[in-house]
Chains A and B, each alone.
Chain A
Amino acid sequence: MRTAIKRSTAATAVLASGLQTALPALAGVIVLPLLVLLLPFGPAVLKPVRVLAGLERERAGRHLGYPLPEAAYAERGGRLRAVRDPATWRALVWMVVHGFAGTFLGLLGIMLWPAIAESATIPLYWWLFPPESFAGMFVIIRTWPEALTLAPLQAVVYTAAVVWLVPLIARGQLRLARSLLGPNEAELLAQQVERLTETRAEALESHGAELRRIERDLHDGIQAQLVAVSVRLGLAARALAGEPGSPAAELVKDARTGIEDTLGNLRSLIRGIYPPILADRGLTGAVHALAGGQRIPVTVRVPDDLPRPPAAIEAAAYFVIAESLTNVTKHSTASHAEVVLDGDGQSLRVTVQDDGQGGADVRGGSGLSGIRRRVAALDGTARIDSPANAGTTIEVLLPCG
């Protein structure tokens, strides 16, 4: 009982607050023909409609308990953009429906409560009015039996309306606002993609910062400490030089060899995480160094204004180029190769091309599948083109944000 009253009160409040937007919407309906005629002159015409829709979204969001995201209105583009924009049309449909229905239902919701009381109390005072003149809402009361049956029945009907119908209508009104003024499924999806793209860019950035930090920590911390220990061991070995073959001298020698191995492993580990030359020289410098270390001449072409990609993308690009060039020298019998970097800040394109025999095993080769894996992990695409006797081209596109 109490929950029913609570629910009905809340629903009535929804309908009553709906009047705040329904009345301006009704006014908007009156000038609707003018709005539609002006629509081709640009989205600005609909600014008031959007403000009103914004207020309604806020109201509906308040009652629903979660904020309603804004529909994706066409902001840019030519004049006709507003005409073709589905979000604009949905807002106009809402305005018409809510203008009429919202006004009517708002008033109805408010009036039903006193109407119950009025209906229930008719028997107390109907007879005070002159005959044939009393109308208790929808029922004309002429006789006592009518007053004692129809009036309570009306009260029951009104109560039922308040208890069941009003919450239903209120919910419908909020849903209408949600479906017509919020984004539709495609827009929601687009917004989600946009948000994911943003978070991915942030993740890439922080991942890159992490890579650099790990690389520096390993180099400046652990590696330096190991070298310092190995220097001391070296000095100990020197002090023990007088007694070669002694157990202590052997142990020191073993320890030093162990540290040297560890240092070697550490170096290749670091190279796999984040090639240090990337930190020193950036992608361009690192690729030039890489090209200079090949057995065949490798031309590198990089635009001067190439925006610096996130560190994780740089590391992947470097890996792709290193792996591709290794393949070139190992398998292709090429006499020349070319590396081209290109990007606009949105994505980085890496192309490695050689003039070798082609026919690379696109699916099998561990190098090529390694490239695919590394690129796919960053949402990139790799295209490997290797027709027989016509060289091999590896083109990789990496999204930067």
Chain B
Amino acid sequence: MRIVLAEDNALLREGISLLVKSAGHEIVGIAASGPEILPTVLEHRPDIAVLDVRLPPTFRDEGLRAAIEARDHLPGLPVLVLSQYVEQAYAKELLETGAAGTGYLLKDRVGRVEEFLDALERVAAGGTALDPEVVSQLMNKRDPLQSLTAREQQVLHLMAQGLDNLTIAGELVVTERAVTKHIGNIFRKLGLPASDSGHRRVLAVLAYVNA
């Protein structure tokens, strides 16, 4: 995959480069500040843009705003936003530009190399990756999800992060068939329209918890 990376911290930039290279990907362009992002993305047309939220010059949310702007110019551009802290309001703003090919993760997750690479590839392929902490913040809003069993709530949580059934099964150490059954129950209990896997399913779940 060809990646554009926006990150102002040299140490971290180097770490992420090492990481993606180890998985056979390539960093084709680097932006060290907010205003550099759009030209770099337009120049390289990468498979995915990995953007830090806080960048020079103002160290606020320029990465997020650049992601939204880049989506305006290149609709469907997969974007993975990394942040020092997650904020459900930011997740919503990002998802409003389209859930397909959208990722929003805590920077901490980069250390979980396999999971991070999975998320990277999933987003580049048009999927969704939401940080578990964002999902928790969002699900806290809809309480009680009492009609769901504890296991079903776990499944819902993982589903909202954008994981597919096979990965969810791996996380929970159950069979994929069991996961499919749980998901069927969840959709029935919450009255959600049955959706196939991928970002549409995430959207359906988020639309429910956000309602």
Contact = CB atoms under 8 A, between A and B. Distances in A.
B107 A238 contact: no
A224 B114 CA distance: 19
Given A228-B11, A235-B19, A238-B22, A292 B108 contact: no
A295 B12 contact: no
A280 B92 contact: no
Contacts of B60: 279-281
A223 B54 CA distance: 13
A103 to B, nearest CB: 68
Interface residues of A, number: 35
Contacts, number: 99
B143 A295 contact: yes
A288 B143 CA distance: 20
B104 to A, nearest CB: 14
A281 B61 contact: yes
Contacts of B116: 234
A358 B189 CA distance: 33
Interface string A270-302: 110000110111000000110011110000000
Interface string B103-119: 00001101111101000
Contacts of A259: 111
Interface string A336-378: 0000000000000000000000000000000000000000000
A292 B85 contact: no
A12 B194 CA distance: 104
B85 A227 contact: no
Contacts of A219: 54, 84-85
Interface of A: 216, 219-220, 223-225, 227-228, 230-235, 237-238, 256, 259-260, 263-264, 267, 270-271, 276-277, 279-281, 288-289, 292-295
Q: 6 tightest CB-CB pairs across the interface, nearest first?
A: A230-B111, A234-B113, A289-B89, A231-B15, A228-B11, A224-B9
Given A219-B84, A220-B8, A227-B15, 5 more contacts: A224-B107, A230-B108, A230-B110, A289-B89, A293-B141
